[in-house]
Every structure is written in C-alpha cells, then in structure tokens.
Structure 1
Amino acid sequence: MAFSGPPNRRSAGRRRRWAAALGVTALAVTVAGVPASPAAAQATASVAVDFPTHCVPPPIAGIPPIDGTTTAEITVDNAAPKVGDTVTVTYTVTKPAASNPVDLALPADIMTPSGKVALGGAQSGSVTVTGPKKNPPVPGKGEFPPFSMTGTFTVTAPGSITLSPGDYNIHTSYIMELDTPCTVTNPPAPVSQTIIATDDGGPVNERTITLSAASGKPGERVTVTGAEFTANADVTVAGWNGSGPTADTITAKANASGSFTFRPKINDPATVGIVAFEGASWDPAKGAGPAAYTLVGDVPPLTQQITSSVKAGTLSMTQAGDSVPLTSVDFGQGGAATGDLNAVTVKDFRGGPAGWSLTGRVTDFTGPGGKIDAGKLSWTPSCTTKAGSPSTCAAGSAGVVGNTGATLASAPDGAFTGGEFTAGAKVSLDVPAFTAPGAYAAVLTLTLT
C-alpha cells in the first residue's frame, strides 16, 4: 500500500531504529560465524556469548541444581597462528549461572576456577584452563563474581578453528573444600572466537602431561607424567598460578624417549595448575599444560623463628655504709658493746650452677690504752632472699669472727642458681673490765667468693 503526502516523522524514527537494530544483529552474526568465502577467511574478534548452564551446588547447601544462563567470552593471544604455534587462551566468565549456595558470606581470595574451552572446525578437542585463587568477598547467597581462566594449546592443523566456552567448576576453600560444577546444557556453546591457522611446515609441539590427581593437600606429592619432550632434556615441572609458574618446582631429565615421571611436592597456595617445560623459564612452545590442580585443605602456616639472648652478668655486692658504731661500756665493768652490721646486698647474676659464700674477718681493736683482741668480736648473722630468685641464701653460724674469719651468708651450688640477697648481723664486742678509756677501732673485711 502506498501513502501520499509527507512521511510521518514518528514512523520514520521507528523505521530508523529497527534498521539500526537489524544492522547490529547482522554484524553480530557475521562476527561470530565462520567466514563464507576465502576472501573473508580471517580471524574474528571475540564476542561475549550466552549459553544455558546446569550447575550442581555442593550437597551441604541442600538446594537443587541451578539451571541458568552463563555469559562468557574467549580471547587468544594470537588470532593468526601457524601450525606448531602455541596459543594462549583466556576464558572469562562475566556472569556465572551459579551463586553462593549458602547463607555464609565468603571472604576474598578463596575461589579457584577451572574449565574447558571447546575447539572446532579445523581442530577438535578441548583446552584445559585454570584461574588464580582470587575473588572479592561474596555475601551469603550472593552472585559469584566474574573470573578468568587461562590455558594453552598447540595448533596441529591449518584452517579456521573455533573456540567455544565449555564446562567450568568453581572450587571454594573456606571452612571446607566445596565444588560447584557447571556444565553446558546443550553443547557446544556458541562460538566466541575464531582463529585462522596457516601451515608453514614447521615443527609441531606435541608435548603433553597428565596428572595422577586433580587435587591434593598442601605438601602432598602428585605424579606428573610427560611425553613427547626432547630426549634427555632437562625438564622443569612447576605449579601454575593462572599466568605463570609458582615456587613449586622440580627439575630432572627426560629419558631417551622424551618421557618422564616426576613427583613434585605442591605447597604454594597460588597453585591452580601444573606445567612442564624445557629450558630455564616457561615457554609454551617448549612446554605442556597447564593441567588443572587444586590445593585442598588447610594451607600450612608460615613460621618465623624469633631469637634473642640473655647476657650473663656477674657476682657482686654492695653495702649500706662503712661505719658500725657500737654501744659504750663502763671502765671497771666492761661487757658487751653491741651494734648492727651494715646491710650487704649480694647480686648473683651469673646464671650458672655455682653458689657463693660471703665471709668476714676482723683485725684487733686498737685505742689509747692498747688493743682488744679480734677474738672478742662475735656476730649473729642473718640473710633474706628476694622473691623470684632461683637460689635461697642461708645465714652463717653465730659465733666468734676473729682474725681467722667466719661465714656471714652463703648460697649452695645447683643446676641453676642466682638471685638477689640481703645479709646482715648483730655484732657484739666483749670489752674487758679494765680496758683503758678511749675509742677503739678495727677493720672488718668482707669477702664474696
């Protein structure tokens, strides 16, 4: 039916919007598809694709499987490789179909993804991809965040090779080890990336590795079997953190047929896969992997040894004063002139097994009328031990001091000795009755050994 008169502006606007929408749709089909003619045979830019997914939450969650939609995109580091080249593939899930199946919030960096990328067209098979243990915190029952996984494959045939998202698994390591596997409901998923391989007749990297297990506890060994490596070459098997090797490495020689069986110990918490390569560093052209491997269980704690030292001290003593006044006696009567020895503090800070002994000896007392014999001075010792001291002191016996000496205090030998002690004594000088009047003095010498 034809219309006369000027066109309706609203109708024209609608037609332009429909035309724009159809144009975008046509472009999307062209980008995602395989070129229709040799002239158009070129790699295509990657596109995000949606595909139905069946996810099975861990049994502990007590919820049924989730049938949802995953949005993902596949990218490569080389969209125009040659046969024999190694291509690095990145599988990015921008919107997982599954979510946190429990009410408990998940902390950061406890999720480890792994998956497969399906190959089609000139080359079939799949590429194993793994991702690092890295994620933002996830609230209880909240959506899982986006994540990326990487892997490599060797181009074995020329032509157009398609890459589609495949099954993936989300492993969480928090309180317990849990997996949420998600499978493509109607495989294969839509093509996300197409690359064009050419044949230059060069060598093809056919190196492969297989693992005895896909997971293990920190510190456990996993058997890694390799094939098609260079005969008698040095081969390093290493953990893989999603973008490069980790600290878990072991190097040995392949046998004469290019095969090997190594058993590395995996400890690094960053390990999400295992690779093997010839040479000093990772080179996809001379290596194989990554093969997915997940650490499960508690990561062993790190330890730091803290050291210090206690410096041994000395055996020492100090006294409260150097003069001891005694009471006076009367001429013609004589008797006991008494007083208190100045307190002596002994510090045994040696920290060994030896004890100590504090002895004293006195000279004769001299004065204007002659002398008073040293044997006339006697004492009654005392000793106290400061709380917390390893040793306990003992007071010497009461009796004559004299010029031959006597023990004021001591502490015995032992397995571990030391401490702080205070020694003293009541002293008494027996003054003869008719000693000439005047002041008499003697010197008491204390020796600590």
Structure 2
Amino acid sequence: MALPTRRRRWASVLTVTALAVVGGGALACPAGAAPQQVDFPTHCIPPAVAGIPPIDGTTTAKITVDNASPKVGDTVTVTYTVVKAAASNPTDLALPADIMTPTGKVTLGGAQTGSVTVTGPKKNDPVPGKGAFPSFSMTGTFTVTSPGAVTLSPGDYNIHTSYILELDTPCTVTNPPAPVSETVTATDSTPVNNRAITLGSASGKPGDSVTVTGSNFTPGASVTLAGRSGATQSADTATVTANAQGAFSGSLVVRDRTTTGVVAYEGTTWSADKGAGPAAYTVVDDTPAPANSQKLTTTVKAGTLSMSQAGDAVQLSAVDFGKGGASAGALRTVTVKDYRGGPAGWSLTAKVTDFTGPGARIDAGKLSWTPACTTKAGSPSTCRAGSSGTVGASGATLASTPDGTLTGGEFTVDAGLSLDVPTFTPPGSYSGVLTLTLT
C-alpha cells in the first residue's frame, strides 16, 4: 500500500498596516462542490500465510479529478484516496516503510459507464504489527466519450506488500457500486479522438504479460501497444489489428522496470490524435539476485509540504482624508516547497480581518489582490495563480497546483494588494491581519 499523499496544513499570519487609510479591491475565488468522502462495506481477504479469515469492514474513501467540467474527448485524471482501509496489518510483524504498492478501480456511471484502473506509488510509513494501514492514493485516467453527468465511485482495491514475501490483500466492494464520491459534467463537442484502452491488470512482475483491450480505433487498423516510462516510450511493444468495429484485445510483455503506463496507437509513432492512454501500470520488481551477486537497492524518501514568507508586515501607501481610494502595496513573497512526491497538489489560500483604527473600521471586503505565481525550473508541477479580486473575511485562493501522476517542486507566490479606503475615513493608522493557509 502506498503512503498517503498527506496534505500538511500550514498557516502564517501577515499584518497589513496602512498610515492614515489603506486601499483595496475585490478577489473572487469560484468554489466548486467538494468531492464527497464516502463509506462503504468491503470484503478483504488477508494473505493465506496470515492464517486469519476474511475481513468484512468499512472503507472510507474519496475520488477527486483534475477537471470537473471536461469536453467529450478530453482526458480526465482521477485520484482514488483510501482514507481508511477496511483491512489492517494481519500479522504481528511490523512492516517497514516503502514496501506497499496499491492498485484499484474507479467505477463510472451516469452518462458514461465502465471503470478506471488506478495505481499508487510504492511508498508508505512503517506499519506496526496488527496496526492500521495508512491512507494511500492511486491515480489513473479516462477519456470522456459522452456528454452529461458522469459519476465516479470508489471500487475494489488491492494492497500488495513486498517484504520477505510477495503478498496481496484484495478488498472488494460488498454491494457494488459504492456511493458516488465525485461527479464530472461533460459538455458535447466534436470528438477528435474517442479511442480508449483498458488493462487487464494494473501491475505485474518484470516480463509479465498484460492484456490490453481497445475500442473506437479505425476498423482494420494496425495498432501498436507500447509501454511508457513517464513521457518516454519504452522498448516493450506489440502489434494487434482492430476488428470491423474498431475494437481489439492483445497482450504486451512488460520488461522495463521503469514502466508507468501503457499506450496504444495507430501509425508508426505515438500520436495523441490516433492513440489512447497511457493507462497506469506498475512493475513490481521482486527479481532475486543472481548467484554470486548482490542486489543494490536505494530509497528516495518523501519530504514535506512547507512554506515560508519574506517578512510578516506590509506597509500600504497612505491616502488623503476626504479623498480615500486605493491604498496599495505588495504581499511579502511566499515560497512553497513541495517535496512529498505522489499525486497530490496543494492550495494556498488567505483571509483577512477588518482593518481597525482610531474609532473606525474598514471592512475586510475592501481588500483585493492580483496574485502571481512562478514555478522553479524542473519542478514536476506548474503553479497556478488565483483569481484577481476580493480577499475578504471568507478568504480566497492565492495559488495552487493540480493533482497529477507525479507532483512537487518549488514555487514563489506574490500578489499586488489594494485596500479601497472610504472617502471620509478618520485620519490615523489602520491595520488588519492576513492569514495564509497551505493545504
């Protein structure tokens, strides 16, 4: 099972002070409906060596997507997070870090039916004997083929452990489908590419064969099946022929241990216009060391999500009594460092208090900003600045990065500030507190 991609919550306070009176505007952060965390009964089968019967318990999970309003033909990235697994470590043996690889399925319903194969990284905290498995996340993608509301429900999942023995703990939904956790609403468009593939398995050992099933390809076309390592095609390929309905089923032998997915395409080279995938696939490398040799293993340790700011006070420009207007300044630069790895992005939000002064108050809704965000070269994620507009007491998004197959990096976040000071605000110094929260 994979280590949960944890979102650590960070908060910092920035005091914004204006002499005489300070200026503002209005920031709007459109808020979509949050994914729903759901509980569902689950039947888990511990490894035979544990010597214990099947476990019937409750799984708590949620589904998130990178695009809740796709067009037909778009690819949507799905993240399936098991917040609390129904099963726990079935033995008294403590499990070390980074020996669990989770895989699973997300069930589609409504305007589009089927399932999405998801897989997680081999990363976890140590698990004590008989201890609860930690939360973990798995990601995969699907191509939208029909307009309308598409529901996403958590499905079956499997916890594979590679420690002393190669063991699996499969957990199935007792009464499928599980409750709906997320819904995407697809709009109609002229589909450029409706080709789609599914895999018979989300993981395998080096040299194992995986079944690839395709649909909506050109009837009679020669289709290449290929492994992908990130954005690069591996040397593992096979060829199949689509039938008269544009469908096929073929096998691909996956030998490259760095494989992260499988694609299928028409023509001699990969083309997004005539291909499908990648469908997530993980190689579980349990190859023993040959005689008279030593197998060398290293670990890339996951870090944390953190932020720092270049100071905790901002002096906005003064305005004249009787004139009022914009009291301007700049947010102290905030640096976000995301070294967690895994599929989770982050969100940096802020809210501000009313500005208080000599016998008067300037409403928090008078403060506005214009956010900006810069991504350090080489970072897997790309930072997105929030919308310009009112900050206010309820808060708004300053910057964020999306969920993805692999996230992380370093980012600098800034914002121009403006407080809209009423015309006859009494002279004096007014101050408010801007609180930043990173999740």
Helix, strand or coil for the counterpart of 1:60?
Answer: helix
User: Which residue number in structure 2 is paired with residue 218 of structure 1?
Assistant: 206
Helix, strand or coil for the counterpart of 2:185?
Answer: strand
Shift of 1:56: 1.3
Conserved? CA contact 1:221–1:265, under 8 Å: yes
**Higher RCO (C-alpha under 8 Å, 6+ residues apart):** 2
User: Which residue number in structure 2 is paired with residue 59 of structure 1?
Assistant: 48
Shift of 1:235: 3.9
Q: Does residue 1:250 correspond to 2:237, yes or no? A: yes
For 2:178 and 2:243, locate their aligned partners in 1 and report how far apart those are by CA, in whole Å.
42
Residue 248 to residue 175, structure 1, CA distance change in 2 (3 Å): farther
Helix, strand or coil for the counterpart of 1:162?
Answer: strand
For 1:50 and 1:173, locate their aligned partners in 2 and report how far apart those are by CA, in whole Å.
28
Query: Paired residues, what number?
Result: 260
User: Which residue number in structure 1 is paired with residue 89 of structure 2?
Assistant: 100
2:124 to 132, 135, 149: 135
For 2:273 and 2:66, locate their aligned partners in 1 and report how far apart those are by CA, in whole Å.
12
User: Matches of residues 194-343 of structure 1 in structure 2 within 5 Å?
Assistant: 194-211=183-200, 216-222=204-210, 224=212, 226=214, 228-229=216-217, 235=224, 237-239=226-228, 247=234, 249-250=236-237, 264-271=252-259, 274-277=262-265, 286-290=275-279, 292=281, 295=284, 297-298=286-287
Helix, strand or coil for the counterpart of 1:163?
Answer: strand
Conserved? CA contact 1:272–1:295, under 8 Å: no
For 1:187 and 1:255, locate their aligned partners in 2 and report how far apart those are by CA, in whole Å.
32
For 2:176 and 2:243, locate their aligned partners in 1 and report how far apart those are by CA, in whole Å.
41
For 2:130 and 2:231, locate their aligned partners in 1 and report how far apart those are by CA, in whole Å.
32
1:6-30 superposed Cα distances (whole Å, 9 cap, x missing partner): xxxxxxxxxxxxxxxxxxxxxxxxx
Shift of 1:205: 1.6
Given residue 153 of structure 2, which amino acid in structure 1 is its aligned partner?
Answer: S
For 2:258 and 2:123, locate their aligned partners in 1 and report how far apart those are by CA, in whole Å.
9
1:159-190 superposed Cα distances (whole Å, 9 cap, x missing partner): 11111111111111222221111122232222
Residue 144 to residue 281, structure 1, CA distance change in 2 (3 Å): farther
Q: Percent identity?
A: 60
RMSD, matched Cα = 3.7
Shift of 1:260: 7.4
Q: Which has the higher helix share?
A: 1
User: Which residue number in structure 1 is paired with residue 139 of structure 2?
Assistant: 150
For 1:80 and 1:53, locate their aligned partners in 2 and report how far apart those are by CA, in whole Å.
30
Shift of 1:43: 6.4
For 2:264 and 2:57, locate their aligned partners in 1 and report how far apart those are by CA, in whole Å.
37
Helix, strand or coil for the counterpart of 1:153?
Answer: strand
For 1:299 and 1:209, locate their aligned partners in 2 and report how far apart those are by CA, in whole Å.
30
Q: Does residue 1:119 correspond to 2:91, yes or no? A: no
For 1:219 and 1:193, locate their aligned partners in 2 and report how far apart those are by CA, in whole Å.
36
Residue 72 to residue 209, structure 1, CA distance change in 2 (3 Å): closer
Conserved? CA contact 1:130–1:273, under 8 Å: no
Which of 1 and 2 has greater Rg?
A: 1
Given residue 154 of structure 1, which amino acid in structure 2 is its aligned partner?
Answer: T
Helix, strand or coil for the counterpart of 2:191?
Answer: coil
Conserved? CA contact 1:210–1:224, under 8 Å: yes
Residue 210 to residue 220, structure 1, CA distance change in 2 (3 Å): closer
Residue 139 to residue 269, structure 1, CA distance change in 2 (3 Å): farther
Helix, strand or coil for the counterpart of 2:162?
Answer: strand
Conserved? CA contact 1:229–1:254, under 8 Å: no
Q: Which has the higher strand share?
A: 2
Q: Does residue 1:188 correspond to 2:177, yes or no? A: yes
For 1:184 and 1:169, locate their aligned partners in 2 and report how far apart those are by CA, in whole Å.
11
